[in-house]
Chain A
């Protein structure tokens, strides 16, 4: 009777909370709280606490049939030729991402991280969009502006903001829903951010950057930071988004929407996804499934079973995240190391390239060099700098819709897992205006379809239906809908 304890991080979001995974002889796992972890003092959000129930290991498959790992690798090796497109959003280690970059290079391609915003925003802004403010610094800010809902989206930020408040900070939230820890909840037109938000160099702005974020919106926030002198932190929904971004060296990136469009157009025939389930990540699942169905080869290299593994032509099942030898870089730019030693993912990619097993050490050395460190030490964090960049012309196109269904994605959302947050939220006016009944689901209709969904009355902005769960009738992160009984 023995247990192996893995020191790892939660794969839920870019905070990368330290945790333990305890694996028994029979392979069953449970999580434990790693109190010495510097990022989170061991504390976890709902997602981390329930990780063992939600983590399902992948199985290697070819054309739907279960096969040996090596057979899947061979099949993939044959299928991936020049012209293949590669995606890795940051759900796996830097090592695997770097390995995929080598494979892509050998096929005259790059690895897309899906953050198309980087490509449409000047490169001088990229460092600011990449590595963010140290979490300790948030506690020392005098003013904090939230463009996210910390309770839902990045819950381990809550305690940092609460600590900041204890230190005298004032918190303003600009979002879809009133946030209870904010002193002030506002709805502001982006054109008025600079004038309405009284920020200065002791302020911290916390926003989000995900594959569906409108670049114009990012530019507005960057302008706000520049004009006020405030520090800005872009949280990302994937544990190693920052690491993969750094590794990718910001090569010209396509957005996921572009990739889907090219698949539909017939320009992309082979797609290789590394721990990137586009069906889970993108808001319009139907459109994505349709597009993926048009590919000649959908090859998925993944550590967990998810929606995409059911439709892929080839699935290469790698070890669960907690077992991987490798490093992730969190939102603060902090490099965090897994205690695991398994290299299935890297070896698979290596095999596809005809490389000998053992590529890990070489890649790890490259990573350390790129990060400018000698070893991975969780207590070491890059000094936060505010690089200069020019103000940009930004006009976020906000269509005037009467009622908008908005996704405020949290870790469960991005990982396609539904828990008891399977309801939408709207304010009382919308409920009364549409004569909804208590306890009876509301009918939400868009051009694409409709669904009956449980709803909750919350302090949500007018005209907004906020959802933490992906609904079938959506076309984007914001969808025009009508609400009825």
Chain B
């Protein structure tokens, strides 16, 4: 995945955002696998953390990611109605509302936090989401919350 992608460059002297992506085990993580298997190219900016359900979203994960130096955070789960645990993604939706409002009020750019629904078969979509988000983050630049010494 270190080769140049169609949409962006991964030249070694260009700043690469660090993006943390929380993927639900059943759909989105499967989607990541599908992206891999389908050889869909994406920039190597994302660090995936698997959670069982998007409902596992905890403000701490997101805040901790930003404090540790993440430039962007994506939380991804099953499409509404398809949650493996029935309504986990509904819970995620509500929590996300709070987190988005908080992060915006705090002063982080709106682009830095995203919630999406990616199913296990949507490999190409997964790659697109990652690519688009990376572009977005490159535009807003490094996170102002990045600690000293983290690139």
Contact = CB atoms under 8 A, between A and B. Distances in A.
- In the complex they form, do A and B come into direct contact, defined as C-beta atoms under 8 angstroms apart? yes
Interface of A: 428, 457
A457 B149 CA distance: 11
Contacts of A457: 148-149
A344 to B, nearest CB: 47
A432 to B, nearest CB: 10
A428 B149 CA distance: 10
A457 B148 CA distance: 10
B60 to A, nearest CB: 17
Interface in B27-84: none
A457 B147 CA distance: 11
4 contacts: A428-B148, A428-B149, A457-B148, A457-B149
Contacts of B148: 428, 457
B107 to A, nearest CB: 20
B79 to A, nearest CB: 38
What 3 A-B pairs have minimum CB-CB distances, sorted nearest first? A428-B149, A457-B149, A457-B148
Contacts of B149: 428, 457
State which size class the interface on B falls in. Answer: under 10
Interface in B115-151: 148-149
B151 to A, nearest CB: 14
Contacts of A428: 148-149
A77 to B, nearest CB: 58
Nearest to B149: A428
A428 B147 CA distance: 13
Nearest to A428: B149
A274 to B, nearest CB: 47
A428 B148 CA distance: 10
B49 to A, nearest CB: 18
B148 to A, nearest CB: 8
B134 to A, nearest CB: 25
A19 to B, nearest CB: 32
A454 B138 CA distance: 35
Nearest to A438: B149
Nearest to A431: B149
B68 to A, nearest CB: 11
Nearest to B147: A457
A439 to B, nearest CB: 12
A414 B148 CA distance: 32
A459 to B, nearest CB: 10
A417 to B, nearest CB: 27
B56 to A, nearest CB: 24
A91 B123 CA distance: 68
Interface in B79-101: none
B97 to A, nearest CB: 32
A320 B148 CA distance: 45
B149 to A, nearest CB: 7
A420 B149 CA distance: 24
A425 to B, nearest CB: 14
A436 to B, nearest CB: 13
A259 B83 CA distance: 72
A470 B53 CA distance: 44
A202 to B, nearest CB: 36
A144 B78 CA distance: 59
A44 B10 CA distance: 52
A431 to B, nearest CB: 10
A456 to B, nearest CB: 12
B1 to A, nearest CB: 25
A140 B64 CA distance: 40
A225 to B, nearest CB: 37
B94 to A, nearest CB: 32
B75 to A, nearest CB: 25
A426 to B, nearest CB: 14
